[in-house]
Amino acid sequence: MGLTLSEKILSEKAGRKVRAGDFIQAKVDFLLMNDITAPISIKVFRELDAKIFDKSRVAIILDHFTPNKDIKAAEQCKFSREFAEEKKLPYFFEGGKVGVEHCLLPELGLVLPGDLVIGADSHTCTYGALGAFATGVGSTDAGVAMATGDVWLRVPETLKLIYEGERDPWVMGKDLILHTIGDIGVSGALYMAMEFHGDAISSLPMSDRFTMSNMAIEAGAKAGLMPVDEKTIEYVKERAKRNYQVMEADDNANYRKVKKYKVEKIEPLVAFPHLPSNVKEARNAARMNIKINQVFIGSCTNGRYEDLKTAAEVLQGREVAEHVRLIVLPCSPSVYLRALKNGVLETLISAGAVIGPPSCGPCLGGHLGILAAGERTIATTNRNFVGRMGHPKSEVYLANPAVAAASAVMGRIAHPEEVMRS
């Protein structure tokens, strides 16, 4: 019996052939921490009285509560900054260089195909779109890995997901993953790896692939991996800071389960409060007259250039409804600059959007758009748990950038077709 992509990568990193269920110690290719998790990891690291295993394989990205929202955030960043300066870490990002970590690191070629990447952040699984085994770990694990270069974990079983057919023009990777989570539930891939396959995946741009891998954790998955193809290589070849190894699952790999989806049957979706699995078709949600107070377009899920461009296409020549706040945060400096040069930001601003700095911002209820009691937002983020973006009595609806932009214009949850034909 052959190996899944996860088993293949983890066998390489463990130095022996491993199977699902095995407990292993494996070599880490890259480790990341942010302004929330780094201070805890640093304290653990200092207790070990050790040296960093490889400074070129460690990054600290101050992206969650920055620009500093309060004194506590400032102290967290100061603590992390002083450590990075002391250890002379080459990959420390803040200020004008910072972006949302899961957008920034792939852009800079620091995470690559065949890598084992761990991060003190649950959405580290984003890099599975590059054919890497990437997973979130606790801050203690990250602190130990910073010293040893190793991580201890159990090899996950794999759920193979095959997407076939041609997408509706308004259907994005966000809708494919929301449909999947709606089908299997938020525990449907618990401690499994999700492998995404099929011609519909091959047709997706890298931005949408990152979106899908990013939200694997919302189904409980340990990782969300995609095969490396020409688009992947095209993305990484000009960015890669080091050599990488492309791996692929064996044809006779042993999967826990295989599921197939016909994407022509998938419509733009909206995840209703308070779970990403609580999905309804945007067309049906539009008939429910759900008024909104805020729209947020950004985050590690949908803050890339292609996401902003899609939103701008819907908003072109239109205005945001008077009672709606539209907040847009490009996910990295390069995305911000590209959107500025190509007129995307001008379109968004002309429509009434507030453009903020690259930051996680309101996604985790951090800053730059917190919700009050009774307020509703539709967001391109990844979670809509109770209190996720502010007050426990607020409501968060998840959608792709086109649906979010259309909703901003209509002042209620809307389908893009409603706006485009008006």
70, 209: one domain: yes
Residues 399/285, Cβ–Cβ less than 8 Å: no
Q: How confident is the model at residue 365 (pLDDT cuts 50, 70, 90)?
A: very high
117, 228: one domain: yes
Residues 285/379, Cβ–Cβ less than 8 Å: no
Q: Which of 297, 294, 298 is nearest to 376 (CA)?
A: 294
Domain count, the chain: 2
255, 274: one domain: no
208, 185: one domain: yes
The predicted structure's pLDDT at residue 230: 97
Q: Which amino acid is at 229?
A: D
Half-sphere exposure of 332 (CA within 13 A, CB side): 20
Report the alpha-carbon distance of residue 236 to residue 241 in Å, rounded: 9
**Tens of pLDDT, residues 292-322:** 999 999 999 999 999 999 999 999 999 999 9
Q: Which of 325, 298, 400 is nearest to 64 (CA)?
A: 298
- CATH number of the domain where residue 381 is located: 3.30.499.10
Tell which of 227, 261, 295 closes a domain. Answer: 261
Report the alpha-carbon distance of residue 3 to residue 356 in Å, rounded: 44
Q: Is the pLDDT of residue 422 over 80?
A: no
Whole-number Cα distances in Å, 339 to 107, 242, 282, 300, 383: 15, 28, 27, 16, 25
Tell which of 231, 261, 291 closes a domain. Answer: 261
275, 170: one domain: no
**Cβ within 8 Å of residue 381, ≥6 positions away:** 296, 298, 299, 301, 302, 363, 388, 389, 396, 398
Averaged pLDDT for residues 139-147:
97
How many Å is the maximal CA-CA distance in the chain? 65
351, 213: one domain: no
Helices (H), 88-194: 101-107, 139-148, 173-184
117, 30: one domain: yes
188, 165: one domain: yes
36, 101: one domain: yes
Which residues form the domain of 182? 5-261
220, 153: one domain: yes
**Tens of pLDDT, residues 241-295:** 999 999 999 999 999 999 999 999 999 999 999 999 999 999 999 999 999 999 9
Tell which of 233, 261, 289 closes a domain. Answer: 261
